[in-house]
Amino acid sequence: MTWSSGAGKWYLIATCEIPEPKVYEPVDFIGVDRGIANLATTSDAVNYQGRGLLRYRSWSARKRAELQRRNTRSANRRLARRAEKEHRHATHVNHRISKEIVAVAQRTARGIAVEQLDEIRERVRLRGDQRATLSSWPFHQLGAHLAYKARQAGVPYIEVDPSYTSQRCPHCGHTERANRPTRDHFRCRRCGLAGLSDVVAGVNVRNRARSAWAFVTMPVLSAA
């Protein structure tokens, strides 16, 4: 506890450190696939939609354009307030989703796995008008919220290689672009396994986490 003076006033700054709980040994993982329409889809086939958020953002973008055209002082002030409001809204949605996923993980003694983000841009094929949405989309924020909340709850959190998670068959391993004939559907060309593509991606993320975790926690073997 320290006292600090600023602008002639004295403030009491109390820092309170809450010890983080020990990370437990998970019985399994929840794989989380992040997307645009479905903000997050888990390997449990639960999806958290971003449609409301999408609608809100395009409405906001129209309002913004209107204010930008006016370009007056008051319009600029309102513009800044609108940007702030949008940001708060997105943060609120990400907060809610990550809280729910971490709660489920904790309750079922599982860890959380997400795709490592850097390659997500290459992986997701987008129409031209969606590209701007993705670059501003709070994928990173959702990951950061998940990581932070997981740490506070002692839930294992792991990021895995994101390559081909939407084209790989989790049953037989066959990987081909044609396994995903449409944006929403997956059908393995070799073994016929079919399902929603976001769920399949979530399952692939989970499977990768299983082997990654086994590797991380493997006892060190000494060479003979």
Under the binding rule (CB under 5 A), the answer on residue 64 touching Zn ion is no
Map residue 209 onto helix, strand or coil. Answer: helix
Q: Which amino acid is at 107?
A: R
Distance in Å, CB of 186 to Zn ion, minimum? 10
Among 80, 126, 172, 216, contact with Zn ion (rule: CB under 5 A): 172
Under the binding rule (CB under 5 A), the answer on residue 203 touching Zn ion is no
Distance in Å, CB of 189 to Zn ion, minimum? 8
Under the binding rule (CB under 5 A), the answer on residue 164 touching Zn ion is no
Alpha-carbon distance of 206 to 41, in angstroms, equals 12
Return the DSSP state at 27: S
Alpha-carbon distance of 187 to 17, in angstroms, equals 50
Q: Write out the binding residues for Zn ion, residues 9-48 only, by CB under 5 A.
A: none
Among 193, 195, 196, 212, contact with Zn ion (rule: CB under 5 A): 193
Under the binding rule (CB under 5 A), the answer on residue 169 touching Zn ion is yes
Among 188, 199, 200, 209, contact with Zn ion (rule: CB under 5 A): 188
109: left (phi over 0), alpha (psi -120 to 50) or beta: left
Return the DSSP state at 175: B
Alpha-carbon distance of 12 to 198, in angstroms, equals 49
The residue among 75 and 172 lying less far from Zn ion, judged by its C-beta, is: 172
Q: Footprint of Zn ion on this chain (CB under 5 A)? A: 169, 171-172, 174, 188, 190-191, 193
